[in-house]
Chains A and B, each alone.
Chain A
Amino acid sequence: MANNKKKNMTMTQQEYQQLAKRIEPKRPVLKNCLRAFLVGGIICVIGQVLMEMFIHWFGFTEKTAGNPTVAVLIFISVVLTSFGVYDKISQWAGAGSAVPVTGFANSLCSAAIEHRAEGVVLGIGGNMFKLAGSVIVFGIVTAFLVGILHLLFGVGR
């Protein structure tokens, strides 16, 4: 693949890309990982605390407490997105704030806010899943494949 890409480029282009590679600052991967771990962990701890609250104070069981917990996390994420804070957190936290359910809520909410200008149907309706759509599509495809494997081999039955 890498060779294929290079074949289509002239010598000058290849030389230039090497020069550019050398100068451009790299993504700070280790720092990003640590931050993602920290923020993602904090979000999970908040989720756990919420879950315990629902179990101990509101009479949910361990199985049913998941739904209200997720709903509260989504609500917090939507509020933070609407106040223009979530994207600032994300620049610092990276995957830490993108991977949990809060990131999914942020992708829906931000697209809905952004495209409100184009109307409720064409704007919000048509664009809300612009980013989240691919998560849902590939989520369903993966679930389907796993379902077939489960049917064929009966894993985990």
Chain B
Amino acid sequence: MLKGHQSWTFASKPVIAATATVVGPDEGLGPLGDEFDIVHGDATLGQKTWEKAEKALLEEAAQRTLDKAGLTGGQVQFYIGGDLMNQIISNTFAARTLNMPYIGIFGACSTSMEGLALAAQLMDAGAAHHVMCGTCSHNSTAEKQFRYPTEYGSQKPPTAQYTVTGAGAALLAREGAGPVVSAATIGRIVDMGIKDPFNMGAAMAPAAVDTITAHCRDLGIEPGHYDLIVTGDLGAVGYAIAHELFAKHRFPIEQTVYDDCGLLIYDREKQAVQAGGSGCGCSATVTYGHLLKRMQRGELRRILVVATGALLSPLSFQQGESIPCIAHAVAIEAGGEA
């Protein structure tokens, strides 16, 4: 149901019946390594190309999710997914194997929560019994498509971010045990004129702040409503800027704990990831792996996940265009609450 300008509340409280996360070696070595379902020691996953490896990540995550929920692909009405590759090939090709009716979306790194919000909306509208949403990214495919060949020796500036190799999928059901999706806010495009693709945190931070403030305004709540507000992949630079922007707009973010998935997934002291993690897989694996497990352990009751996306293309930044950014927020609450 529409609430305010750009938010939905889900009266039927769709349940996140199962989630699964699959990551690569660097993410396995990070501080959240134990929270993921499958950690691959080999970034190629035994595949011939990086693109096939990325697709395999998603296939594994989706299959694992189905196994956990005790369902087959035929029992899931819709699969919603997207990724960073041109023409979202990773999801399309994975959907070919998964054999579920498929809705492809593109929201760059915001895809995880864009998919979850749409899936919850489908459930709430009674359009499905089960909906799965998923996303994936691979460091090497992203390097290849957006930057330079993976083995090319270029020096990255300290503002650059490291694309997460990982996939996350979630399955929504009408009832059952598990956390529920209670609300979502669809973000507007915010473009502050940043053109540097090695500084996406700074480009995306205003979009995240815009969506978080819009969410609280639409729902008539304060940030303290949540135990944790987490942004998708702002990294160290974007995170610091977001803090400044909250202060500037007198938004009381200090009522809650504010963190960023891009900072959680790696140990920036030990791993050479510059400003932190990024990519579709970043918010997906941290949310579906780490954060939902913390909810199950009872450490968190309500969280707001704000996945941030930089909607640039390799052509657009070469042609000197600025980077349009977006953020989508989804509120997740621990289940079993009256």
B154 partner residues in chain A, CB cutoff 8 A: 87, 90, 98
B126 in the interface (beta carbon within 8 A): no
A-B contact number at CB 8 A: 100
CA separation between A78 and B241, bound complex, in Å? 41
B157 in the interface (beta carbon within 8 A): yes
Interface size class of B (residues with CB under 8 A): 20 to 34
Most buried by A among B48, B148, B192, B240: B192
Interface majority SS (helix, strand, loop, mixed), chain A: helix
Interface size class of A (residues with CB under 8 A): 35 or more
A63 in the interface (beta carbon within 8 A): no
A40 in the interface (beta carbon within 8 A): no
- Cβ contact of A103, chosen from B50, B153, B245, cutoff 8 A: B153
Interface string of A31-57 (1 = CB under 8 A from B): 010000000000000000000000000
Asked whether B199 lies within 8 Å of A19 as measured between CB atoms, the reply is no
- Contact residues, B184-237 vs A (CB, 8 A): 191-194, 199, 202, 205-206, 236-237
Name the distance in Å between B157's Cβ and chain A's nearest Cβ: 5
Interface string of A73-87 (1 = CB under 8 A from B): 000000001101011
- Cβ contact of A91, chosen from B156, B193, B241, cutoff 8 A: B156
Asked whether A87 lies within 8 Å of B244 as measured between CB atoms, the reply is no
Given contacts A17-B192, A117-B51, A131-B148, contact A91 B244 (CB under 8 A): no
Given contacts A25-B237, A117-B49, contact A20 B149 (CB under 8 A): no
CA separation between A144 and B148, bound complex, in Å? 29
- Cβ contact of A94, chosen from B51, B155, B237, cutoff 8 A: B155
CA separation between A83 and B234, bound complex, in Å? 32
CA separation between A24 and B149, bound complex, in Å? 26
Interface string of B164-195 (1 = CB under 8 A from A): 00000000000000000000000000011110
Given contacts A19-B241, A20-B194, A90-B154, contact A110 B202 (CB under 8 A): no
List 3 tightest A-B contacts by C-beta distance, closest first. Answer: A90-B153, A114-B149, A110-B151
Give the A-binding residues of B (Cβ under 8 A).
Answer: 48-51, 144, 148-159, 191-194, 199, 202, 205-206, 236-237, 240-241, 244-245, 272, 275
Please, could you name 12 A-B residue pairs with CB atoms under 8 Å apart, sorted by A? A24-B241, A25-B158, A88-B272, A90-B155, A98-B154, A110-B151, A113-B149, A113-B151, A114-B144, A114-B149, A117-B49, A117-B50
